[in-house]
Amino acid sequence: MSVKDYHDILVEIADIDIEVSSIADSRRLLAELNEKEEALIQLKKSVIVDMRSIESDHLKKKRMIMDKYQQQNSGIIGVFRGSNKSRRIKALKRQDTDNQGEIESYSEIKCMIDDLMGQLDNIKGSMNDFIKEKLG
């Protein structure tokens, strides 16, 4: 799933009306919060799987770069094209930079999920306190 898809899902999950006026409202809200929390848990698992997939692809691409620039150029061609070592280093740096940016995007999503889960826990605690207060 793309980072934009995760953002869209998080915006949808974060849209919560937390105003309650009765015990029934608070119980309804608690049930809704539990559903959203479960969705966040599944979403976090999906982000972790995507991050592992990105890392795996990165390692495969690095191996392909290493294989591509493994042989030494000799003679005139090597002078004009540059050494395989320098081209390999440039390609590996470019691959590392691309991978790092992608992983950081998914890490931010993961942090947003953790933050939202903490907020849901706080709201659930407030709802439980509200119910206890109303019940006496």
How many whole angstroms separate alpha carbon 27 and alpha carbon 20? 9
Question: What tokens does 15 get?
Answer: 């849209």
Confidence of residue 86 (pLDDT cuts 50, 70, 90): confident
Question: What tokens does 103 get?
Answer: 């992983």
Q: pTM of the entire structure?
A: 0.79
Residue 102: Cβ-neighbour burial (10 angstroms; 0-12, 13-18, 19+): middle
Residue 18 vs residues 26, 58, 109, 132: alpha-carbon distances, Å: 8, 43, 23, 17
74: number of Cβ within 10 Å: 8
| pLDDT of 69 strictly over 90 | no
Q: What is the pLDDT of residue 58?
A: 92
Mean per-residue pLDDT for 48-73?
87
Angle subtended by helix axes 3-14 and 23-68, to nearest 10: 170
How many whole angstroms separate alpha carbon 106 and alpha carbon 84? 33
Residue 106 vs residues 52, 58, 109: alpha-carbon distances, Å: 10, 15, 5
Mean residue pLDDT of the chain comes to 87
Which range has the worst mean pLDDT, 11-20, 38-47, 77-86, 101-110? 77-86
